[in-house]
Structure formats: structure tokens, C-alpha cells
Structure 1
Amino acid sequence: MDATLEGKICSFCGKPGSRKNRLAGGLGAMICFECIEYFHQDISSESRVAAQTRPVWDEMSDADLLHTFTLVLRSAEQNTAFAGEWVELLRRRKLSWAEIGKALGVSRQAAWERFSTTSTSRRRDASA
């Protein structure tokens, strides 16, 4: 499993991880310390919570929405990569495609079709 910050982004603001912009995360989502502080202050303030009557995207311009949409897709791609890494971990531990499929609520075949090429190409890239 790749625990480096290289290529990872904050799932909340989209900033890339680095030595200066450390990320914390789990289960695919990553968050930078700046966002942790912001959201902590946000939920700790009764007045800020009360002032939130509409979703943030209702206040965004079309340009802001388009920019944020690209960040949403980057975060989704990051989560897909994390899922592939988890499947690799499960397969290294000799769990079957049937067990993985059952955990996902799909057939063995569907799990294999979704993840086998990802794990195979990642192994090939690592050995190159």
C-alpha cells in the first residue's frame, strides 16, 4: 500500500500533499491540516453552524463550480486508486475473488473484471 504523499490530494480542498502540506487520511479520503483546522473551527462555533443555511455550492459562480468539479473528479480518482490498492492487499493475503466480490455485494466475476487489470498493471509498473 502506498503511504507516500506523492500524487495525493486533500479530498476537501484539492491541494496536493507535500512536506509543507501534510495529509491525514483513512479509507481513501485525505485531508490537509489546514482543512482540519477550518472544519474544526466551523463545527465548534454555534454561530457559524447557525449561519450555514444553504450548501456552499449555492453561493458559487459557474467558474467556481467548474473548478471544483475537476477537484471532485481528482478526489474520486484517488479513491479508485485506493480501492485498487486494497484489492491488491486482499489478493496478497490470498483472499479469493469470490470473497472480495461478496464484500462488495457483487459476483466474483464482477469484482475480477473491475479490479484485476488495475492490480496487474500496478504490479507490472512496480517491477519495471
Structure 2
Amino acid sequence: MSITREGRMCSFCGTSGGPGTDVQLIGGLGAQVCGTCVDDFHALLHDPVQHAAAKGAFPWDRMSDAEVLANLSMIMASAEQNTAFAHEWVDLLRERNISWAEIGRALGVSRQAVWERFARKGSDKSATA
């Protein structure tokens, strides 16, 4: 199994990216960031005026209710992307013969709880391992 960036989006601006697009995504552990956001954050961090203005201010504090609502679908898409990424990691661990009990311990839950959340019904023949 190979974990790819195909079909992913930038977790910060929502731009679709990855192979087959002009948007290169970098990052890992679920969060992906596009080059434009990296450049924007780099500029912000290295400009004392921008950095001071951004410090402590949250973007949603400056948004209208309509803007917050408009961003909700992107936030849900990012959350779903991270959930899918977690499933890919669990699939990778199962392919490496890591037991459900070990995965559960890593997540701080029981073997049964992790199996119920991550087992691909019908595709994992070793559900009890």
C-alpha cells in the first residue's frame, strides 16, 4: 500500500492539489499545505509588522456569520481528509501485521473499539488478530 497525495487538498486554503495538478502539497500526518500557503506563512513570520498583527488574532474573529458559514464545508472536507488519512495509516499497519490490540494501545482505546472504527468490512480477514 502506498499513501499518496492524490485527491488531497491544502488544509489551510482548501485548494485541491497533488499529482495531476499545478498545486504541490507538502506535509504529513493528515495535514497538507500548498506552496502558496507556505510562502504566505513564511512572509508573515518574517515580517515583524504582519507577525505582530496576526499574533493572537484568529481569522474567524474578523469574519461575518456568512463567511464563517461559507468556510464550514471546507473545514469538514479537511476533517474528512484527515479521517481518511488515519484509515490509510491503519491499513498500512495491518498490512505490516500489526495487531488490532497494538493499534488500540497506540490510540488509547481497546482492540474492539479500534476494529469497529477502522476495519474495512469484508476486506480484513484477520479481524480478531
Determine if the TM-score, normalized by the shorter chain, exceeds 0.5: yes
CA contact (8 A) 1:87 1:119 kept: no
Which aligned runs of 4 or more in structure 1 are off by greater than 2 angstroms? 117-121
* Residue 90 of structure 1, CA deviation: 0.3
Residue aligning to 2:37: 35
Change (3 A) 1:71 1:115: same
Q: Distance in 2 between matches of 1:84 and 1:119?
A: 15
TM-score by length of structure 2 reads 0.86
Change (3 A) 1:119 1:55: farther
Q: Distance in 1 between matches of 2:104 and 2:23?
A: 36
**Larger helix share, 1 or 2:** 1
Gaps in structure 2 of 5+ consecutive residues: 125-129
- Higher relative contact order, structure no. (Cα contacts within 8 Å, ≥ 6 residues apart): 1
- Equivalent residue runs for 1:88-99 within 5 Å: 88-99=91-102
Q: 1:103 aligns with which of 103, 106, 117?
A: 106
Encode CA deviations 1:37-68: one digit per residue, 9 max, x unaligned.
00111111111111124211111112211121
Q: What number of residue pairs does the alignment pair up?
A: 120
- Equivalent residue runs for 1:35-114 within 5 Å: 35-52=37-54, 53-114=56-117
The aligned amino acid for 1:12 is F
Gaps in structure 1 of 5+ consecutive residues: 122-128
